[in-house]
Amino acid sequence: MQYEIKGDQLPVVVCTLNPGESMITERGAMSWMTSNMRMETQAGSVGKAIGRMFSGESLFQNKYTAEGSVGLIAFASSFPGEIRAIQIAPGQSIVAQKSAFLAAEPGVELSTFFRKKLGAGLFGGEGFIMQKLSGSGTAFVEIDGSVVEYQLQPGQTMLLDTGYLAMMDETVQMDIEMVHGVKNVVLGGEGLFNTKVTGPGRVWIQTMPISKVAQIIGTAGIAR
């Protein structure tokens, strides 16, 4: 499989498949394809299907296979931002925000990642349930706005405003930290909590979370 990511604020990934090669994706993600691409809708095991539903995806996945000759299939972003290609390998799983998954090679498995700490799930901004990409192969994920990547060393920490964490290596620990000082909480405009990530591992931070966009639109509507 070869791919090319095109576009700026509303990108698309165009994949070229050799005969017999396949891609898996969530329902409705395909944008265009050549006529020799065969689609098969599948759910897999009941547990995996329900897990995908809780992680923000549909119960079913579509599998597209090139038949007879080289095939082409494209998957477009659903929100202004970036599409990132991530290499998944055994022991190198990725945890991403809900609905981040766009498409992947068949060796990649999409499952549910549960936040173990009650406080982090309630106040961290990413919710109790996130997506986990494991297995082996190339996966494509959607990120809101632009993305900034950091490599955290063991024990190194960063504080993020809630909603800005797009994805992270599974080795990264995630928690919440309360903003210090009553005046900072009341007048700072940053809320009560920040998301705390601790290395080792990579973190991908997005610059325009959908939740922030909705908040701005709502505030503008009230102001009018």
CA distances (Å), 131 to each of 16, 66, 134, 159, in order?
A: 26, 27, 10, 21
Question: Poorest-confidence range of 11-20, 70-79, 109-118, 119-128?
Answer: 119-128
Give tens-digit pLDDT for 47-69.
455 554 554 456 678 999 999 99
Q: How many CB atoms lie within 10 A of CB 38?
A: 14
Residue 33 CA to residue 28 CA, distance in Å, equals 13
Inform me whether the pLDDT recorded for 138 exceeds 60: yes
The residues near 224 (Cβ < 8 Å, ≥ 6 apart) are: none
CA 81 and chain centroid, separation: 12
What is the reported pLDDT for 217? 65
Domain at 2-223, CATH homologous superfamily: Mitochondrial biogenesis AIM24 (3.60.160.10)
CB 102 within 8 A of CB 77: yes
Task: Tell me the sheet residues that pair with 41.
Answer: 62
Give tens-digit pLDDT for 185-220.
444 445 577 889 999 999 999 998 876 666 666 555
pTM to 2 decimals? 0.81
What is the reported pLDDT for 180? 55
Mean pLDDT confidence for 121-140: 77
